[in-house]
């Protein structure tokens, strides 16, 4: 017992002490991150505006963080908040700090990564280039932690002056699935080939179903490409949800093919224009139209605040994972 205790004490001694700053909408997540590790100390920023609307920002205790490891927890939930956060992100590494880590749980332009015709603007590349310009700290390039970026090839959009670190929320889902009473009856479904390519290696010990969309006249219909949902608790897995139309169509197809229950998991619950309301149990047409569970993470704070824990939604917090990522 003494050997184990000594080993734990040694491990704690080798942990970096992190000074964690955060944007206003990430306050709740930042508190959870700090609560999950004794090595993380929260710091604050005064987020103010001048009369003309431009940011009037102040980093508190700037002198005290010299020579320290510093991180910033960001949320680029809308173009309106990006500039003020970028201003802080570019300022922190210049305060003579030992190292700097940017935690951006959701990379919001990730689904705009392709140019399908001349004139399209791939804003995923634009945002990656902006982040690649973050100044170096005394310890070297900035580490940029992102969860379940929409397309893995986007890692190549970042320049050599930052170190992108791509994490995933799937371990949170796996932990939750193990707690279910029907854990032995789980089948994983993917709404398209892209989701399968993205996640199947992390979920390969489960039976799998792959759906796809086929065109019938002017409509695109969701079909089961492979796999059998009959009698199973099927969990649809994807990186993000916007309107949720594809997930709803997948749910209907899986239920019509005999699934006992259908649930869903997405890392990033974007849900613009309150589109999450269509998934609320009270808004369902009937039992066959409902999701048993809908798991999301807190990568999109505005959504989490709006949804809370109202059925069928359940929030799986990234806090512990972020705390671990800050020790990399």
Q: List beta partners, residue 243.
A: none
Domains of the chain, with CATH numbers? 18-167+320-326 (3.40.50.2020), 170-297 (3.40.50.2020)
Report pLDDT digits (tens) over 45-104.
999 999 999 999 999 999 999 999 999 999 999 999 999 999 999 999 999 999 999 999
* Helix H or strand E segment including 87: helix 79-91
Residues 6+ apart with CB under 8 A from 228: 209, 257
Band (pLDDT 50/70/90 cuts) for residue 13 is low
- Own/partner contacts of 120-124, CB < 8 Å, gap of 24 or more, are 124/150, 124/151, 124/154, 124/157
Joined tokens for residue 83: 């500039």
From residue 199, alpha-carbon distances to 102, 146, 193, 195 in Å are 24, 16, 10, 6
CA dihedral sign, ordered 223, 228, 234, 235: negative
- The per-residue pLDDT for range 228-273, each reduced to its tens digit, is 999 999 999 999 999 999 999 999 999 999 999 999 999 999 999 9
* Entry pTM: 0.92
């Amino acid at each position: 017992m003494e050997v184990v205790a000594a080993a734990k004490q040694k491990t704690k001694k080798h942990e970096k002490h992190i000074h964690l700053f955060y944007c206003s909408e990430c306050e709740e997540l930042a508190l959870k991150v700090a609560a999950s590790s004794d090595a993380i100390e929260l710091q604050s920023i005064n987020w103010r505006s001048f009369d003309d609307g431009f940011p009037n920002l102040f980093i508190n205790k700037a002198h005290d963080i010299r020579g320290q490891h510093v991180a910033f927890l960001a949320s680029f939930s809308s173009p309106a908040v990006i500039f003020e956060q970028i201003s802080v992100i570019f300022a922190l590494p210049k305060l003579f700090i030992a190292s700097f880590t940017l935690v951006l749980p959701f990379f919001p332009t990730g689904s705009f990564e392709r140019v399908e015709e001349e004139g399209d603007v791939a804003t995923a590349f634009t945002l990656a280039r902006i982040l690649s310009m973050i100044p170096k700290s005394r310890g070297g390039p900035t580490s940029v932690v992102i969860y379940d970026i929409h397309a893995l090839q986007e890692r190549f959009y970042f320049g050599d002056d930052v170190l992108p670190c791509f994490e995933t929320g799937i371990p949170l889902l796996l932990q939750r699935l193990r707690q279910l009473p029907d854990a032995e009856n789980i089948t994983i479904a993917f709404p398209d080939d892209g989701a399968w390519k993205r996640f199947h290696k992390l979920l390969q010990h489960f039976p799998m179903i792959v759906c796809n969309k086929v065109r019938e006249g002017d409509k695109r219909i969701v079909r089961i490409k492979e796999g059998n949902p009959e009698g199973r608790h099927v969990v649809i897995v994807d990186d993000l949800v916007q309107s949720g139309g594809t997930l709803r169509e997948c749910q209907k197809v899986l239920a019509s093919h005999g699934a006992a229950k259908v649930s869903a998991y997405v890392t990033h619950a974007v849900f613009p224009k309150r589109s999450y309301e269509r998934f609320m149990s009270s808004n369902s047409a009937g039992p066959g139209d409902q999701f048993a569970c809908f798991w999301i993470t807190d990568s999109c704070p505005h959504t989490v605040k709006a949804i809370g824990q109202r059925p069928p939604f359940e929030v799986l917090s990234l806090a512990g994972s972020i705390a671990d990522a800050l020790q990399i």
